[in-house]
Structure 1
Amino acid sequence: MLPPEPVLSLDHADIYQGKKLVLGNVSFQINKGDFVYVIGRTGSGKSSMLKTLYADLWLQTGKGHVAGYALNALTPRDIPQLRRKIGIVFQDFQLFFDRSVEDNLKFVLKATGWTNKADMDRRIAEVLTQVGLDTAQQKMPHQLSGGEQQRVVIARSLLNHPQIIIADEPTGNLDPAVADQIMKVFQAINTGGTAIFMATHNYELIHKYPGRVLRCQDGQVVELRG
């Protein structure tokens, strides 16, 4: 039996923020269906690593693969294609507040090559139903709670059927009860076969929703053994 094909891997990778080395000699892989947390203090390199994985920062040393793309060989024109194959969830939502939920999602579909209106309408309805917001299409973001806005962001990340979702502190701005609801959404997505790679400070969630845990500490990434 063949070993599983990783959807994300780093191999002796050095992670830089500008000219500063923040994480050295990083090696790990995430397979289809994995749920992996990355923890560490503020400034330990978590966000820089995630930004490298979705090509907001360049991988300068070592090798990396995400959704079939070699990070160490990316060209600027590859970046939109890479980001169509992954979902990205930010802590600060990054929604357009001058347009409806539906138009926020439609903007992403158009930007990633969708042209058929019926197909776009159907996909938007599917992802909003998946995150429990099937009646929110015509609402404006300011009409939604913080938890509902984060659900829209998760729906947005699902639009192009990603192989993996990279989430940077997705519950960081939410109260515990709402964070719990958001984690249940991520768990359901993960159960459907999509890998999740999530940076978090929330150790309670890790205990409640166990997964693999990587720690950024002293310029290294180590996997914690439970």
Structure 2
Amino acid sequence: MFSTEPVLSLDHADIYQGSKLILGDVSFQINKGDFAYLIGRTGSGKTSLLKTLYADLWLQSGKGFVAGYPLEKLKPRDVPFLRRKIGIVFQDFQLFSDRTVEENLRFVLKATGWSSKAEMNNRIADVLMQVGLGTAQKKMPHQLSGGEQQRVVVARAMLNEPQMLIADEPTGNLDPAVSDQIMKVFQAINNAGTAVLMATHNYELLNKYPARVLRCQDGQVIELGG
């Protein structure tokens, strides 16, 4: 089914951390297949905004819509279903160090309701191919480089074929050459139709891989050049 509604829209949303207003009156949308950067100084509200999108922080006023779910009306029981429709990539890899790559990915599939072993194996093979790690199934995280570990994290985020990937500083711990490789993975995923919203402070990426830019500044989110 082709849907024209945005994958993400915020309409006069106020982003709070506890009782502190972090960003006020935020309005923007991201459509299927969009790629957008989220930039801003440390402490400008990028992470709070992302956390609101995947319901780690509640939207207290205004409207928000992510992958078909209204954030302002979200019930706690809906949160896992919302998170299945968006993939989340963090800067720290959060892989289980005592399990192979394959076991890390299978854990997520089981946790999100998959039961067929054959289907799980196929999906794991698919996402690892997608990120260029087709032969890494049996490796332990410590046998992988930082860039390879980050690819596994991207693969993990793609397991449930999300409509959108939210990435919080995904290249923050990686050197420039590896950052380039990770960006190419994100671009390939984006070209296949998945929207990407990436928080970054790496301005070289913005020049090298131009896309929409949203900036958190002075308690607001503004679109640059838009």
TM-score by length of 1: 0.98
| Other-structure match for 2:214 | 214
| Other-structure match for 1:135 | 135
Give runs of aligned pairs for residues 195-210 of structure 1, distance below 5 A. 195-210=195-210
| Other-structure match for 2:6 | 6
Give runs of aligned pairs for residues 56-205 of structure 1, distance below 5 A. 56-205=56-205
Q: Cα deviations across residues 187-217 of structure 1 (Å, max 9, x unaligned)?
A: 0000000000000001110111011000000
Shift of 1:4: 3.4
Structure 2 unaligned runs (5+)?
A: none
CA distance, structure 1, for counterparts of residue 183 and residue 87 of structure 2: 16
Q: SS at the partner of 1:6?
A: coil
Q: Cα deviations across residues 56-115 of structure 1 (Å, max 9, x unaligned)?
A: 010001000000000000011000000110100000011110100000000000000000
CA distance, structure 1, for counterparts of residue 58 and residue 95 of structure 2: 25
Shift of 1:5: 1.4
Q: SS at the partner of 2:178?
A: helix
- Counterpart code for 2:34: D
CA distance, structure 1, for counterparts of residue 187 and residue 18 of structure 2: 34
CA distance, structure 2, for counterparts of residue 5 and residue 62 of structure 1: 18
CA distance, structure 1, for counterparts of residue 120 and residue 65 of structure 2: 29
Structure 1 unaligned runs (5+)?
A: none
Q: Cα deviations across residues 137-174 of structure 1 (Å, max 9, x unaligned)?
A: 00000110000000000000000000000000000000
CA distance, structure 2, for counterparts of residue 80 and residue 5 of structure 1: 21
Matched-pair identity in %: 79
CA distance, structure 1, for counterparts of residue 109 and residue 170 of structure 2: 22
- Counterpart code for 1:193: G
Give runs of aligned pairs for residues 16-55 of structure 1, distance below 5 A. 16-55=16-55
Shift of 1:50: 0.1
CA distance, structure 2, for counterparts of residue 210 and residue 193 of structure 1: 17
Shift of 1:19: 1.3
- Counterpart code for 1:203: Y
Deviant stretches of 4+, over 3 Å: none
Q: SS at the partner of 1:77?
A: helix
- Counterpart code for 1:185: V
